[in-house]
Amino acid sequence: MAARPPATDDERTPRDAASQISEESRAYWRPIVAAMEPMTHEQLADVAAILRRIEARHSD
């Protein structure tokens, strides 16, 4: 699989204007996350399963 080109600022910026992430936090984490390897399909599936469990607990 070919490497994905680096994300643009538009791709990294949340679409939701009501984001609770501060600009300071975003500035701190952006270079750290940008240097990380992309997640595998298995890792993404694991994260999705965890998020579904969290969502299910909050909907009760």
Render pLDDT for 1-52 as a digit per residue (tens, 0 to 9): 456 666 665 555 555 566 788 999 999 999 999 999 999 999 999 999 999 9
Q: Is the pTM of this model over 0.85?
A: no
SS (HEC) of 31-58: HHHHCCCCCCHHHHHHHHHHHHHHHHHH
The percent helix, strand, coil of the chain (3-state, each to 5) is 60, 0, 40
How many Cβ atoms from other residues are within 10 Å of residue 8's Cβ?
Answer: 8
pLDDT of residue 21: 87
26, part of any domain: yes
Range of the domain at 39: 22-58
For residue 46, what are the CA distances in angstroms to 31, 38, 50?
24, 14, 6
Number of domains the chain contains: 1
4, part of any domain: no
